[in-house]
Structure 1
Amino acid sequence: MSTCYEDLASELNRIDELMVKSESDFRNLLDNVHPRQYKNAVNLLHYLTLRNIDIRALQDALHSAGLSSLASSESHIRGQVIAISQRLGIEKTRPDDVFSFETGKLSLAQKSATLFGTKEYTNIPYIMVTFDTTMAEDYDKVKNLVLSGMNIARINCAHDQEEIWLRMIRHVKRATEETGIGCKVYMDLAGPKIRTLTRDKKKVDVKEGDRLWLADQQHMDEGKKTIGCTVPGIAEQVKPGHRVLFDDGLIEAFVEKTEHDRIRIKILRISSGKPYIKHEKGINFPDSSLSIPALTDFDKKCLPFIVKNADLLGYSFVKQPTDLLELRELLQDNQALGLIIKIETPEAVKNLPALLFCGMKQERLGIMIARGDLAVEIGFERMSEIQEEILWICEAAHVPVIWATQVLESLNKSGVATRSEVTDASHAAMADCVMINKGEFMIRTMETLKDILLRSGGHHLKKRYTFRPLAIARRFIGT
C-alpha cells in the first residue's frame, strides 16, 4: 500500500474509533430510545461524531483517489467509512447492526411509510395539504384533493373547533374509503400565540425612526404610544439591543431600554406599503429566550380529540427535550400516534440532536421544518443553510422530514407561480414530505408541485458536499 493510501486508511480508522467510542460516551441516550429506533439513533450519533471534526482535506484526498468522499452517506455513515477502508485493503468487517447503503435506504423508506402511509408515486415526497374551514362543508373538494395526490390532510388546531375538525376528518375518511387511496390525518397543536395588542383594536401608525413602548396586557399605558404583547412579563425577558419583529418580519425594531414593566423600542425598518402595526399580528423576539411553555392549556384540552381522531400530531414551539417529555407524559406513552416535532425557533435548531434522541423514544417520529417562523427568527439569509443541515441530521437519524410553509404560495393564492418559488419547490424534493397551505388554487398547485418533484427528484442526491464541522454537532458532541 502506498504511503498516501496508508494515511487515508489511518485517518479513516481514527474516525471509526471515535464513532465506536461515542456509543459508550452517550450510552444513556441510546438506552432510552424505542427499540425500533435504536440502530437509527446509533447512526445519528456516528454522524454527529463525524460532523464534530473537519474532514474537508480527507474528502479531497478520497475524491482524488477515486473513492467515496463520504458525501450523501448520512443514512449509513459508519458503514460507508468501513466500506472505504475495505477498498483500501483493510481487513475490516461491517457489523450486522451498522447500516450499509442498501439497508440505510430501506430503513428510511420504511420509516416514511410507517409514518405517512402508502403513496402512488414512490420516487417523490408525500404531499400534505392544509385544510381551511370550507373543507368541513365541501366533501367533493376533499375527495378531489385525495384523487389529485394528497397523502396527508393537515388540520391546524389554531383555527375552528372540534365540531368543524370532525367534519373535515369524516370527509377524509369517506374519500379514502370511496377511492381506495390512503390519506393520513395530521393535526397541529396551536402552541403559544405571541401577538400584538392595540388599544380598541385600532392600528398604530409607525414610521422608521419612531420610538414607542411595548408592554404586556396588564401594563399597557393609556398615556403613551404603546403596543401590547400577549407574553406576560415581557419586559423582564428582553434586553437592550434585542430585535423585535412584527408581522412576519415586515417591521423591524430593537430594544433601546427597559423601564419597569415596559420596553422602549425604535423602529428600524418597514418593508411594507402598510406602515402600521395591527391588533393580533405576530411578534418575534429572535434574540431573546422567552419563558413560554410549548404546551398551552388549550393544547392540553385538544389532546384527547387528537389522540382519538388523528394519525399524526404536530407539536409547535418545541425548544428543548423537556417540552417533549411533558407531552409524552400527557400522551401516556401512546405509540400509535405519530409525533411531528416542528422546528421553528433558534433554540430548536441548536437542540435538534437532543430533541431527536428524546423524540426517538416514540416509535413513529418526524420533523417539520416550519420555514415561516424559523426564517423570521434566524434570518432569511441563513434559511437555506439551516434547512439543509436539518435535512442531513434527520437523514442520519432516519427521521422523515416535512418541508413546510409558502411552497408555491403565489400559485396557490393567485394561480400564477413566480420563478423563485418554482426553484424553491424543486429543492423540496430533498425532503420526505412537502406541505402546501390553503388557497384558492389547491388542485392546480398540487399538480404543479408533483410535476416539479418528478422532474427534480432524481437530481438532488448528485451534489457533492464537503463536511466542515457543524455547529449543531459540536454543541452536542462537545458537551
Structure 2
Amino acid sequence: MIPEVDDTILAQLQQLETALAHEARVYSDLIEQVYPSNKASALNLIHYLTLRKADLRPLQDKLHYLGLSSLSNSESHTLHQLRSVIQWLNRKPYDGHPGDIDPAAARAIAQRQSMHLFGQRPSNEIPFIMVTLDARMAGDVGLVSQFLEQGMDVARINCAHDDEATWDLLVSTLKQAMAETGKGCRIYMDLAGPKLRTGLPGKGKDKKRLKIAEGQTLKLVEPEYEVGEKERVVSCSVRGIIAQLKPGQKVLFDDGLICTTVVKVKGNEAHLEIDRVSGTKPHLKAGKGINFPNAQLEIVSLTKEDKKALPYICQEADLVGYSFVRTKDDLKVLQSSLTDLSESPPHIIIKIETPEAFVNLPELLLQGMTRNTMGVMIARGDLAVEVGFERMSELQEEILWICEAAHVPVIWATQVLETLNKTGIATRSEATDAARSAMAECVMINKGLHTVEVIRFLKDILSRSGGHRTKRRHLFRPLSVAQHFFKERELLQELTASENT
C-alpha cells in the first residue's frame, strides 16, 4: 500500500508536467525544423531542459523517501517518467501515453543513432573504440590489423597534421587491413579548425623560446610585429584576435601551464601580466597553444584549410569532426558546405572544447538534428584548459546528460589511458577515468607506442564497468545550460516584439 502523500508533492509534479507542455509549444518551431525521425528526440530535449531549469532536490528527496522514482536517470524519456510518477501517486499504474518516449523506445533510438555513426555494436555494454592513426602507421598493414583484431571500431585521422597524401596512405593502409582481417571500421577525420598558436617574432638565439617569470609583463601581438630591444613579445597565429580582448580577461599558453591576465589593449597589442608559470622550465616556446577562456571571440570555425580538406573528407570519411565550433551558425556553415560537395556527406561530430560551445550545446544539438544523424565529442583537452580542470568532471557529466536527452551519441576523448599508451604502464587514476568512459557511446584513444595494449586494457575495463552505467541516482540542481537556453530565446522574442512595435 502506498503511504500517505503530501498534496504538495503531487501539485509540484503536475506543475512540472504543465511547464513541459508549455515549453514544448513555445519551442515547437525549433522542433519542427529538425529531421523527421529526430522530432521526438528534440521534444524530449526541450522537456529535459525544462525539468533542469529549477532546483528539484527537495522534491527528489521526498519522492525517494516514498520509494518512487525521483526522476533521476530520466534523461532519455523525461515526460514518460514524470507522468508515471504522477499516476502512481494517484494510485494508478501508468500504461503510457500516445507520443511518449518510454525507456525501451529511447534505448532503441539511441542504439539506432549509434549504429548509424559507428556501425554494428560489438556488445551492448561496451562502447565503440576509436583509435587515432598517425603518419608512422602509414603502410604498416600489420599494425593496423592488430588494432582491428583487438577491437578498433573507428579509425581517426587528425587533419591538423600531415597532408592529403599521408591521409590517403593511411586510408589505403586501413582498407587493406580491413580486407585481410575481415573486420569493418568507420573512418573519422578531424578538421583542424583555427590554430591559435604562439610565435616568437624577432631574431637571435632565443627565437625558439622566450624566458619568462611570474610578475613580468608579456606583449601579445600580430605575427608581423617588429620587436624592439628587451621586449618580451609573443605573437598569435590567427590575426584579429588581439583587438577583441579586454582588460581582466585571461590568456593561457601551452595547455594552461602559463596563465596571464590582460592589463591593457592598445591597437593590435595586448599587454599581459604573467600570473603563473607551471612546470620546471620557465620558458614559452613557439608553436604552443593559446586559449582565451573568458573572451567571446569572433573567429571563423571553418577555416580555408578546412574547406580545402572537405572534398577528400567527403570522398573517404564516414564521420567528420568539427573543431572549435561555437554557435549554431558555425554548424550551419559546415552543413551547407558538405551538402554542396556530396549527396551523402559524412555525419558531423561537433567537438565541445570551449565554454561557448558548452553553453550553446542545446542549440547546437537542435541544429545538428536537422540532419538525420549527428554526434558529440567531449574534447576534454582544450575544454579543461578553458573552463578549469576543477570543473571538467562536472561539465562532462552535464554534456552526457543533455546528449542522452537528445538521443545523440557521445565520444569520450583526450588522454584516455595516455600514460599506458606512452610508457606501457597505466596509472591508477587513468584506469578509473577509463572505467567512467563507459558512460559514452564511443571512447577515443590518442596516438602512442602501446596502442595495441591500450585497446586490450580498455576493452577489459569497459566490459567490467559497462553494466553499471545506468545504476546511479542524480540530484537535479539547476543546470546553467538549461537556464541559458531559455533565457536566450526569451531575449530574442522580446527584441523581435519591440522591433515590431
Indicate the residue corresponding to 1:450 in structure 2.
459
Which residue of structure 2 lines up, in the alignment, with residue 255 of structure 1? 262
Q: Does residue 1:341 correspond to 2:350, yes or no?
A: yes
The residue number in structure 2 matching 1:369 is: 378
Would you say 1:203 and 2:204 are equivalent positions? no
2:221 to 178, 203, 215: 215
Shift of 1:336: 4.7
Task: Say if 2:339 and 2:345, in contact at 8 Å, map to a contact too.
Answer: no
Letter in 1 for 2:270: I
Distance 2:168 2:137 in 1: 11
> Which residue in the other structure is 2:296 paired with?
289
> Which of 288, 304, 317 lines up with 2:324 in the alignment?
317
* Mapping 1:300-311, distance limit 5 Å: 300-311=307-318
Amino acid in the other structure paired with 1:207: A
**Letter in structure 1 aligned against 2:386:** E
Amino acid at match of 1:194: L
TM-score by length of 2: 0.93
Give the secondary-structure state (helix, strand or coil) at the position aligned to 1:69: coil
Matched, 1:383 2:392: yes
The secondary structure found in structure 2 opposite 1:256 is: strand
Contact map agreement 2:156 2:190 (CA 8 A) in 1:
yes
Per-residue CA distance 1:370-390 (angstroms, 9 max, x = gap): 000000000000000000000
C-alpha distance 113-264 of structure 1, shift in aligned 2 (>3 A): same
Q: 2:232 aligns with which of 225, 231, 255?
A: 225
Match of 1:416 among 425, 435, 453: 425
Partner of 2:406: 397
Q: CA offsets, 1:163-212, max 9 Å, x none?
A: 11112112222222332322100000000000001134421011112212
Distance in 1 (alpha carbons) for counterparts of 2:103 and 2:424: 41
Could you tell me which amino acid in structure 1 is paired with residue 308 of structure 2? K
CA shift, 1:60, in A, is: 0.9
> What SS is found at the alignment partner of 1:477?
helix
Deviation at 1:119, TM superposition (A): 3.3
CA deviation vs aligned residue, 1:379-408 (integer Å, no higher than 9, x gap): 000000000000000000000000000011
Partner SS state of residue 443, structure 2:
strand
Name the TM-score, length of structure 1 as normaliser: 0.97
Which ranges in structure 2 are unaligned for 5 or more consecutive residues?
A: 490-501
1:228 partner letter: S
Residue identity matched to 2:338? L
Describe the superposition over 1:400-452 as per-residue Cα deviations: whole angstroms up to 9, x where unpaired: 00000001110000111111111111111111110010000001111111111
Q: Deviations over 1:311-330 (max 9, x none)?
A: 00100000000001111111
Q: Could you say what secondary structure the match of 2:166 adopts? A: helix
Q: CA deviation at 1:344?
A: 0.3
8 A contact 2:3–2:66 mirrored in 1? no
Letter in 2 for 1:225: R
Residue 37, structure 1, aligned to residue 38, structure 2: yes
> How far apart in 1 are the matches of 2:31 and 2:385?
34
| Partner Cα separation in structure 2 for residue 183 and residue 304 of structure 1 | 21
SS in 2 for 1:219: coil
Greater mean deviation of Cα atoms: 260-269 or 278-287 = 260-269
- Summarize deviations over 1:24-50 as a string: whole Å, max 9, x none: 100111111011111111111100010
Does the aligned pair in 1 maintain the 2:5–2:89 contact within 8 Å?
no
Is the partner of 1:355 in helix, strand or coil? helix
2 CA distance for matches of 1:235 and 1:8?
A: 53
1:90 is displaced (CA, Å) by: 6.3
Cα 1:132–1:147 shift into 2, 3 Å: same
What is the distance in 1 between the residues matched to 2:374 and 2:100?
21
- Report how far residue 3 of structure 1 moved: 6.2
Letter in 2 for 1:332: T
Does the Cα contact within 8 Å between 1:219 and 1:262 map onto a contact in 2? no
Q: Is the 8 A contact 1:206 1:275 kept in 2?
A: yes
Counterpart residue type for residue 382 of structure 2 = D
- The 1-side partners of 2:267 and 2:32 are apart by 48
**SS in structure 2 opposite 1:137?**
coil
Instruction: Give the stretch that moved more between structures: 17-26 or 361-370.
Output: 17-26
Q: CA RMSD in A?
A: 1.6
Partner residue, 1:181: 183
Counterparts of residues 26-175 of structure 1 (less than 5 Å): 26-89=27-90, 94-175=96-177
Matches of 1:430 and 1:96, distance apart in 2: 30
Matching residue's letter, 1:171 = T
SS at match of 1:390: helix
Q: Which residue of 1 aligns with 2:361?
A: 352
**Cα shift at 1:335:** 5.0
Which residue, 265, 268, 271 being the options, matches 2:275?
A: 268
The answer for unaligned runs of 5 or more in structure 1 is none
Counterpart position of 2:494: none
Answering whether residue 484 of structure 2 is matched by residue 475 of structure 1, we say yes
Contact 1:294 1:316 in 2 (8 A): yes
One-letter code of the match for 2:376?
Answer: I
| Secondary structure of the corresponding residue to residue 33 of structure 2 | coil
User: Displacement of 1:128 after TM fit?
Assistant: 0.4
Quickly say closer, same or farther: Cα 1:93–1:14, change in 2 above 3 A.
farther
Counterpart CA distance in 1 for 2:259 and 2:247 is: 14
Going from structure 1 to structure 2, the CA distance change for 1:413 and 1:2 (only over 3 Å counts) comes to closer
Structure 1 counterpart of 2:497: none
Identity of aligned residues (%): 48
**Alignment-mate amino acid for residue 174 of structure 1:** Q
- How far does residue 66 in structure 1 lie from its aligned partner after superposition? 0.8
- Looking at structure 2, the residues matched to 460 and 122 of structure 1 have their Cα atoms a distance apart, in angstroms, of 11
Is the partner of 1:233 in helix, strand or coil? coil
The answer to whether the Cα contact below 8 Å between 1:118 and 1:182 also exists between their aligned partners in 2 is no
Could you tell me which amino acid in structure 1 is paired with residue 361 of structure 2? L
CA offset digits 1:271-294 (Å, max 9, x no partner): 111211111111111121222100
In terms of mean alpha carbon deviation, does 4-13 or 284-293 score higher?
A: 4-13
Secondary structure at 2:138's aligned position in 1?
helix
- Contact 2:156 2:189 (C-alpha < 8 Å) held by counterparts: yes
Change (3 A) 1:14 1:335: farther
User: Do the aligned residues in 2 keep the contact of 1:335 with 1:363 (CA within 8 Å)?
Assistant: no
Structure 2 equivalent of residue 464 of structure 1: 473
Label 1:93 to 1:8 Cα distance change in 2 as closer, same or farther (>3 A): farther
